[in-house]
Structure formats: structure tokens, C-alpha cells
Amino acid sequence: MTAADPTATAPAAGLRDAAPTTTTARRDPGPRRRKATRAAGTSLASTIAMVVIGIVFLVPLLWVVLASFDTEASLSVGWPKRWSLGNYAAIWNTETTFRPLANSLVLCGGATILTMVTAVLCAYPLSRYRFRAKRPLLLTIIFSTGLPITAIMIPVYSMFVQVNLIDSMGGAILFLGASSLPYAIFLTKGFMDGVPLEIEESAWTEGAGVYRTLWSVVLPLMRSGLSVATIFTFVSMWGNFFVPFMLLLSPDKLPAAVTLYTFSSQYGQVAYGQLAAFSIFYSLPVVVLYLFLGRNLGQGFAAAGGVKG
């Protein structure tokens, strides 16, 4: 009989010894389970935070709706004892609602158009051309976006008195548009940077000029960006109280943001029901604008895939 070779059985023994270790490592769910638990905890915390934030925003909206149908409304959120349209009937007149809203539409609409047209014309060279003053100009624009309007209101008021623009709707539109211009330029340039230059070069080879390319090629491709900038600009103007309060003196020229204080008496009493009803009408133009321009927000970049990599 021949003795068995010990070297032949050694690898087999080694495999048998290593097999349980490999199986144990595969079946150990510890790290994977901890990672899944951590992800579930993060998701739960995010959900709770979003619910809390939603409730914080929902409570004031609920108060506005309920108080508008309650003639005895107070600051507390409660179900009306008797549903009534008396608050809406009280504000359904030209002096309280219609004329201030019309003034707001003229003031904010005109200033928004002026701001967006100027922002597009300013953002285009900043996005497409290189020049020495580009970086200092961009830094100045960024600095201007954080400048509080109250810091420059007194010298602006003095200048408006000297040039006889006080109590002028045109002057108020001009200054309101100028004060919103830095942020609009900053937003518009960011969206315009996403439009590939190769598409414009294709239009140039076809004989299109700079303005034709901007109007027919660039602006249609950045509709979503223009919608965002327009909504932000209009909303910031719509809620602006300080500028029209300082520059407009005649009661028949005041916008709705200023006439809101008329619901407070000189003795500190506030007609909460009428204020809530007026707030419903005051919010409608912003909601309509968002519904009109919101269709472009989900489109993204219209030229995705139009340029070869």
C-alpha cells in the first residue's frame, strides 16, 4: 500500500476551513441593515419636518379663509359661528378694493415689464462676452441684491423732490423697477448661461443678427428661467409697502399694499374679517400669474440634446 500524499489533501482542507468564513461574511447583514435603518430614520425625520413646515404655512391660510366669512373674526383660528358674506360686501367697492388693486397692477406690472426687458438686455452681454469690467460688474450686481431698500430711500426721496417726481406713478414705476433690477439680472444671467453658444452660432451662420438671435433663439430656449425671474420680480414688487408709501401721496394712486392699513383704526382696532376678505382678492393676481407662467416651469431646458457632445 502507498501512503497518502499529505500535500494533496492540504488544499482541500484549506478550502473546507475557508468556506465557513466566506459564508459567514456573506450572511452578515450588520452594515447593510445599519445603513438601511439610518436611511429610514433620515426619511422619517425629513417627512416630519416637511409636515411641520406645511402646518406652519397652512394655519395662516386657513385663518384667512375662515375669517373672511366671519363678521366677528379675531386673531384666533376658529370655525365661524354664522357663515356670512358681509365682509366681502363691505369691501366690494371702488375705493376700498378695485382702485387699489388697479393701481397695484399698473405699478407692479409696468415695473416688472421694465425690469425684465432691461435684465435680459443686461444679462446677455454678461453671459456671452468677455471684457475687463465683467467681474467687477458682476460683483457689484451681487452686492446690490443684498442692499436694503431703506438704506437708499432718503436720498432717493430727496432726488425725486428735486426732479418733481413725487406722487408720480411713472416715477414710482421707474424706481421700483430699478430697485429690482440687480436680482433680476442675477437670475436671468444664470439661466442664460445654460443656453449653448453653439446654437447661437448656427443662427449667426444663417444670417441672423444679435437681436434676432436673442429674440428668436435664446429667449424661447429659456422660457422656464424667464418665468421664474418674472414671478420673483412681480411678487417682490406686489408686497412692497415702503416704496409706494414714500413716493406716492395721493390716496387715489396708492396700491393695495399700502391701503391695507386702512383696516386698522386710530384706536388700534382691526376689522379682521374685512382684512381677510381683502387678502383673498389681494392674492388673486399673484395666483393667476403663477398659473399662467407655471406651465413653463416644468419644461426644463428646451434644447436638451440639441447639441452633440
Higher pLDDT, 99 or 294: 99
The DSSP code for 77 is: -
For the chain, the maximum distance between any two Cα atoms, rounded to a whole number of angstroms, is 124
Measured distance CA(139)–CA(123) in Å, rounded: 14
- Answer whether 114's CB lies under 8 Å from 179's CB: no
Q: What is the pLDDT of residues 3-56, one digit of tens each?
A: 445 444 444 444 444 444 444 445 555 677 777 777 777 888 889 999 999 988
Measured distance CA(175)–CA(166) in Å, rounded: 11
For the chain, give every domain's residue range: 30-84, 94-296
Can you give the pTM of this predicted structure? Answer: 0.79
Tell me: domain 94-296, CATH 3.40.720.10, correct?
A: no
Burial call 160-180: b when 16+ CB within 10 Å, e when fewer: beeeebbebbebbbbbbbebb
pLDDT average, residue stretch 76-94: 90
